[in-house]
Chain A
Amino acid sequence: MAPPAHWRRAKERYRLLGSKCENCGSIYFPPTKVCPKCRRKGKMVQTEFSGRGKVFSYTIIHAAPKTFEKYTPYILALVELEEGPKVLSQLVDCRPEEVKIGMEVEACFRKLFEQDDEGIISYGFKFRPIDDSWRNKQSQN
């Protein structure tokens, strides 16, 4: 991939940005240019998410493409943000056997992958357990 393909979405990836329709208030992720509910009447603006949410579903990836191979087995989580939309990324600072649906998580800024030894290093959001709620639940168990 040429550098522009990485740069183009860097802002959304670094700050976890989505789209909001000012006409109906709907919030979308991935960012989109049209509100399917309002279409032409809609007015889309960029919106920033708090980054807090809950694990809606997860998987442990054992077989990964070369770019992600060194992270295997890694947790890929579908996170439902507190604003409603769902986002997908790795869940880090958490062992595969600890992840649970409903677990409270927050976005963190991490390296996503290195294209190759001399290629672009891509950054973006990943998720990690929110310390207090998660650790407390662990100790109760």
Chain B
Amino acid sequence: MRETGVCIGVDGMIKKRDVAIISAATTRCGEQWDKGIKDLAWEAGVKAVEEAGISGKDIEYLVVGNMSGGMFVGQEHIGALVADFLGLNPIPSLRVEGACASGGIAFFQGYLAVASGLYDIVAVGGVEKMTDVEQEQATTALSGAMDFEWEAYFGATFPGIYALMARRYMHEYGLKRESLAKVAVKNHYHGSMNPLAHFRNRITVEEALNAPMVADPLGKYDCCPISDGAALVILAPLEIAKKYTDTPIIVKSSVMASDTLSLLRRRDICTLDATVNAAEKAFKLAHLERSQVDVIEVHDCFTIAEILAIEDLGFVKKGEGWKLYEEGETYVGGRLPVNTDGGLKASGHPVGATGVKQIVELVKQLRGEAEKGRQVDNAEVGLAHNVGGSGATAVVTILSRG
């Protein structure tokens, strides 16, 4: 903690500082049999530190998103583990958990630490090693994001919960499975151009529709994969960010909201109120309109989730999100490019890392460094949206080019 970093205003109140991202990196996502949780965290960390051209000694605080090290690799105490393996001892290092939103929450926490003036250089990481256990145990770990006593205990699966939302949405708004398939087709298309993506194959609507059912109406291609991966970004106050990079990315806002743990008590199962609330506040704090956003990374753990996300974030009216997929408007080059890295569906979903990985993709887009074919022209403002469980947690972060 540095006293010099605290900004005391004329009224004696602590003032919020502008925060920038000075570097951002991810590992490849997918089944990485040769890498354990330490290797993944190390790889993302070293990439980010080298990119920023800083010394590990400059980092004052580390926050790591990790959903379930205990269930996936029998390892807790992830905060200490990552600090140790990045050679950052004795700085404070914290692991945060909010199911699939763990990474987004880590970013939110790191942002608060810098914005408040308590720390200058803060590293925000996310890591998940999911393929060291059988699929049965991995899905059990993931189902912990639901209300265990009143959902999982009665035979609900995680895809099943989203299938309930999808079925109701179909009933209310006329969505067909073909439109859901188009979400996956688009994400695989974007993923095919991302060298770090879990899946780089393109798929067709027919393939998606003919794949085995998981939880009707959701089939195999409506569901994101189980991936290993890690991501890390480094934050600094905007005033000193230029020391480290010519292209700092400004954090305009980062907001988290919560909702009922189970789907049962939601006001409307076709709306994630946590997303709505986080987005409203995020846009207000950023002083930006939806129309000013060039690229978005949303939480598409299932295809239906991506449609709900673009509606709940306020980009399109409730019940009409799926029409954008019919018109191809969510591709790079379209009116609202969504998940330019392939999203959770194709680029992968290493749960605790996902929220940070989304930020890394936006940094790439806003710096104009994404691969050919998936770079949004002249992207200036990006939004990331990370969800925990069926919507009990949501984090919305808005970034802009410096």
CB distance from A26 to the nearest CB of B (A): 11
| Chain A 89-112 interface mask (CB, 8 Å, partner B; 1/0) | 110000010000100000000001
> B276-304: which residues lie under 8 A (CB-CB) from chain A?
none
| Contact residues, A62-87 vs B (CB, 8 A) | 62-66, 68, 71, 73-74, 76, 78, 85-87
Which chain B residues lie closer than 8 Å to A101 at the CB level?
167-168, 171
Q: Within the assembled complex, what's the spacing in Å between the Cα atoms of A14 and B255?
A: 41
Q: Which B133-189 residues have C-beta < 8 A from chain A?
A: 136, 139-140, 143, 147, 149-151, 153-157, 159-160, 163-168, 171
B232-240, B262-270, B373-381, B392-400: which lies at the interface: B262-270
- CB pair B160–A57 under 8 Å, yes or no, is no
Q: Is there an interface contact between B164 and A90, defined as CB atoms closer than 8 Å?
A: no
Interface members, chain B 181-229 (any A CB < 8 Å): 212-218
A34 touches B (CB below 8 Å): no
B390 to chain A, nearest CB (A): 11
Chain A residues lying within 8 Å of B269, measured Cβ to Cβ, are 56-57, 78
Which A residues touch B160, using CB under 8 A? 59, 61, 76
Give the size category of A's interface with B: 20 to 34
* B155 engages A59 (CB within 8 Å): no
Interface residue ranges, B against A (CB under 8 Å): 136, 139-140, 143, 147, 149-151, 153-157, 159-160, 163-168, 171, 212-218, 262-265, 269
New A-B contacts (15) at CB < 8 Å, excluding given A29-B264, A76-B164: A9-B149, A30-B262, A30-B265, A59-B167, A60-B216, A61-B157, A73-B213, A76-B154, A76-B160, A78-B164, A78-B168, A78-B264, A86-B264, A101-B167, A112-B154
C-alpha spacing A107/B150, complex, angstroms:
15
- Which B-chain residue is minimally distant from A6 (CB atoms)? B153
| Nearest Cβ on chain B to A8's Cβ, whole angstroms | 9
Residue of A56, A57, A113 with most chain B CB atoms under a 10 A cut-off: A57
Known: A76-B164, A101-B171. A89 touches B155 (CB 8 A): yes
- Listed from nearest, the 10 A-B pairs whose CB atoms lie closest are A59-B163, A60-B216, A57-B168, A30-B150, A57-B164, A62-B213, A89-B154, A59-B215, A68-B155, A57-B167
Q: Which residue of B lies closest to A68 (CB)?
A: B155
Given A68-B155, A71-B155, A88-B264, is A62 in contact with B167 using a C-beta cutoff of 8 Å? Answer: no
Interface centre among B153, B166, B212 (most CB of A within 10 A): B153
Is B265 a contact partner of A28 (Cβ separation < 8 A)? yes
Please report the C-alpha to C-alpha distance between residue A7 and residue B139 in the assembled complex, in whole angstroms. Answer: 25
Contacts of A28 in B (CB 8 A): 265
